[in-house]
Amino acid sequence: MWHRFLNILIQSRDSFLVALGTTGLGWWVQGIIWFVVTESATYLVIWALRGKESMKSRARENFKVGLIVWVVVMACVYTPIFAWNSIKVIYTDHTGLVNRIKELKDKNSRLVDPKSRDEEIRKLQAEVNNLTRELGKSKKSGMGEQQLHIVLMYYPVGKGTVAFGDKTGRIIMLIAITNKTISPVDMILTCTEDFTPTDGPRLGIGGVYLTRFAKALNSRSAELTIGFPAWTPETPLGLPVFTEAKDMSCELKPK
């Protein structure tokens, strides 16, 4: 509590000095100059009204009067300025806290429970393995030139909705499995609903890519390119996309 109060007080002081266009040392110099001017003005006024002798005989009293006048003038001039800058600092600090709380709530809504995440990963890996085996069987039993088959799966990233630019929706990881080795990858992704790629396509986990990008052609289609390495049945292709739709289906075809 005291630490926060001291922090706001320091920020108010800095804002106050900026408003005056000076520094801490400069403000003290101004105060001393104001004191000298105030005292001199007090003595001159008393000299003019009561004479030199009266001024000398009541020098101590005149000094007190000048000091009081100086304090009152300083308070009248600087107190409103300091108060206004304190209000600005408190408002800015409060706004920053509100925004920070909102950011933390948004992040919290996107957090995934580690146990459920691991379970989803295991299920997804099992589905990928099954599809890979099925495609491998079709490859062995096929006659002549093997036809290209691409299977798409949809995996929601996180729980609930997320903010993406000025829109609110969800992030979906599109995972594609092929039965043929493709290199370079140059595909067109078409979906039934509007979507936006949030990153380029990836093969497997990690990897070094010669070229990798997802270029939106319109609101419902995008061009996916990977120059290297090759896309094989053993390395699923993943593409994260953002969509406001609750449900959609997609198709991935060679360009």
Using one digit for the tens of pLDDT, what is the confidence trace for 84-138? Answer: 888 888 888 888 888 888 887 777 666 655 566 566 666 766 766 666 666 566 5
Which has more confidence, 16 or 206?
16
Residues 152, 251: contact at Cβ < 8 Å? yes
CA distances (Å), origin 93, targets 8, 11, 16: 8, 10, 16
- pLDDT tens-digit readout, 195-243: 999 888 888 755 555 567 788 899 999 999 888 888 888 888 888 899 9
Number of helices (H) and strands (E) in the chain: give both, helices first.
5, 9
Q: Measure the CA–CA gap between 5 and 120, rounded to whole angstroms.
A: 47
3-state secondary structure of 191: strand
All residues at 6 or more sequence positions from 74 whose CB lies less than 8 Å from its CB, including other chains: 31, 34
Secondary structure of 79-117 in HEC code, one letter for each residue: HHHHHHHHHHHHHHHHHHHHHHHHHHHHHHHHCCCHHHH
Q: Which of 192, 193, 173 is nearest to 243 (CA)?
A: 193
User: Could you tell me which CATH class the domain 147-254 is placed in?
Assistant: mainly beta
pLDDT classification of 25: cutoffs 50, 70, 90: confident
Residue 232 DSSP class: -
Is the confidence at residue 253, as pLDDT, over 70? yes
- Amino acid occupying residue 174: L
Domain positions in the chain are 2-110, 147-254
Question: According to the model, what pLDDT value does residue 143 have?
Answer: 46
Pairing of strands 221-226, 212-218: antiparallel
Q: Measure the CA–CA gap between 12 and 45, rounded to whole angstroms.
A: 37
**Backbone dihedral angles phi then psi of residue 121, each to the nearest 5 degrees:** -65, -40
- pLDDT tens-digit readout, 148-205: 888 888 888 877 788 888 888 988 888 888 888 888 889 999 999 999 998 888 887 5
All residues at 6 or more sequence positions from 106 whose CB lies less than 8 Å from its CB, including other chains: 162, 163
